[in-house]
Amino acid sequence: MRPTLGVLFVCLGNICRSPTAEAVMARRIADAGLADAVWVDSCGTAAYHIGSPPDRRAQRAGAARGYDLSPLRARQLQADDFSRFDYLLAMDAANLRAIQAIAPRGHRGEIRLLMDCATAPAVREVPDPYYGSGDGFAEVLDLVEQATEGLLGVLQARLTG
């Protein structure tokens, strides 16, 4: 049986930010005992890295905090994602616009920035660490952990309300 709610994290290439968010949120869902009620996935708006594992730097940063990104593989946003997922959460405004541009008319799910889920966000976007230093991957994790904590509360409220 398919879980009740689906959450899709979206960035550009699906090798840094969105798989990080997927791994962090999967852990939060499991720890909250909601694995039967919520499922998560990630994708990119571009086809740059289809089938590739997450960036090694993202995997190392995640592993340092106990998240395993190694089984994940990049994929591109597909038309059927709009019917499969209740939440499509973009890492930045450019990817938010890309999702909105292809969303089918009448789509009932929520399309918004991931950081909108954070209770007290210091920033609105999760910056792309791909061309930056290793510290950028730790910053991504900090922001994703903050936002997914708030997202978990949103999901719990929806499941019980």
Catalytic option among 41, 81, 92, 128: 128
CATH of the domain at 92: 3.40.50.2300
- Name the percent of the chain lying above pLDDT 70: 98
17 is catalytic: yes
Among all chains, which residue has been given the structure tokens 């930010």?
Answer: 17
DSSP 52-69: PPPPHHHHHHHHHTT---
How confident is the model at residue 2, as a pLDDT?
A: 60
pTM: 0.96
Q: Sheet holding 87-90: strands in order across?
A: 38-44, 5-11, 87-90, 110-113
Q: Please state the domain count of the chain.
A: 1
Catalytic option among 17, 27, 28, 75: 17
User: 40 lies in which domain range?
Assistant: 5-160
CB-neighbour burial class of residue 53 (10 A; exposed 0-12, middle 13-18, buried 19+): middle
pLDDT mean over 51-69? 97
128 is catalytic: yes
56 is catalytic: no
